[in-house]
Structures are given as C-alpha cells and as structure tokens.
Amino acid sequence: MANLPAPPSKPFPHCPDRLGLYPVLPSADWVERVLDHGVKTTQLRRKTTDSGDLKQQIERSVAAGARHYAQVFINDHWREAIKAGAYGVHLGQEDVETADLNAIAEAGLRLGLSTHGYYEMLKALHFKPSYLALGAVFPTTTKVMPTAPQGLSRLTRYVRLLDGVVPLVAIGGIDGSVLRQILSTGVGSAAVVRAVTEAADVPAAISALQHEFAR
C-alpha cells in the first residue's frame, strides 16, 4: 500500500492459529492470577507514565508467562517488552508506523495488530503480523473506539476472508453472554476485559469462558 514503511526483513514469529480465551489486563497481579487459573494467552495493557512501575509490571508478567508456558503480549510498550523478553507485543494502528518493527522482529517477539474494518486489515497485513485483532465487535467502555461497532455479520465476513491467512482475535464488548455467538463465526480467539476483571467469582468466570472454547 502506498506510503507505508516496508515490513520487517525478518518475519515475525508465528503464534498458535487459535489463541483461545485472551484476557486483556491492567496489571501483573491480574496476569499472574489468570495464568494461575489456566489461561494460556493474555495481554498486559498497563496505562502509566511511571517507567519504574512499567518495567516491574512487564517483567513480572513475562516471568509469569514463562512459568506457565503461556503467551503474554505487552500492549504498546515494545521497547520494554523487548528488554524483558516478552512473548509478543500488541500495537494499535496509530503505533505501527512509529514503532521499530524491525527491532521487534529481530528480538523474536510476535506482533499483534488492532484493526477496525477492511482498510486497516489490509494495512496491517502488509506488515505480516503474527495475529490480527478484529473489532470492536460490540460497544465497549474500556477505551474510546475510532469506529462504530463491527457486529457479528461483519466479523463473520472477516473470518471467511482471513481464516487460514493469519490468526484472528475478536475484541470489543465480549463477555460470557455473547461468547458463543462470537465463536460461531469460526474465529479462534476472543479478547475479554470486564468479563474477567469485574467478575464476582474470577475462577468461575474463567472456567465458564474456557468451557465455551472447548464445546
């Protein structure tokens, strides 16, 4: 596509085709907690300007991933993720042209990219990421979204278009009440936030969500 930087000369490593339940979490405490309950893919999305706190949170999350043989992605903070030896990095569309993708690939980290519609999917595929996040499927209150919710019918079309091309993660407003509908599209992973972090009984919530993937 015109005016995009070249993809890295070294490709990003592959990640599993079906990443399963994918909690996006605000702290290392949460990462450790969900991994202790059997989750195998998660993301630390730490919102802080405190470099010391960020370093500690990322290092703890990466260490927890190593202990549990789990895939821990770090949102946005790719330099710190490289230093900590993270499994992968997740970037938004606004970050992909400023981050050093060659450095991320050379360090052996996987790359996940957010997309919101066909144009951003094509743009993201140009960089040959390890997975694509497709959203927001439903309205979400966890962040301000640049586009209207995509809905299940669009998600279904995206999966038909990209299944077998790149691993896919559905994201945005997903909880236990809609997870079965999400998975009926054929997508191999679903990111959740409040379905875990606001659950009255976290182990039970994780078990119920994992059960939907095992059906």
The CATH number that applies at residue 116 is 3.20.20.70
pLDDT at 141: 74
Number of domains comprising the chain: 1
Whether the CB-CB separation of 132 and 125 falls below 8 Å is answered with yes
Give the pLDDT confidence of 154-178 residue by residue, as tens digits.
999 999 999 999 999 999 999 999 9
The answer to whether residue 14 sits within a structural domain is: no
Give the pLDDT confidence of 28-80 residue by residue, as tens digits.
999 999 999 999 999 999 999 899 999 999 999 999 999 999 999 999 999 99
pLDDT at 19: 98
pLDDT at 196: 98
In this prediction, residue 145 has a pLDDT band, given cuts at 50, 70 and 90, of: low
pLDDT at 3: 81
The answer to whether residue 97 sits within a structural domain is: yes
Name the more confident of 76 and 215.
76
pTM equals: 0.96
Give the pLDDT confidence of 83-118 residue by residue, as tens digits.
999 999 999 998 998 999 999 999 999 999 999 999
In this prediction, residue 2 has a pLDDT band, given cuts at 50, 70 and 90, of: low
In this prediction, residue 215 has a pLDDT band, given cuts at 50, 70 and 90, of: confident
pLDDT at 146: 66
The answer to whether residue 8 sits within a structural domain is: no
Write down how long the chain is. 215
Q: Whole domain around residue 47: which residue ranges?
A: 20-214
The answer to whether residue 6 sits within a structural domain is: no
The answer to whether residue 10 sits within a structural domain is: no
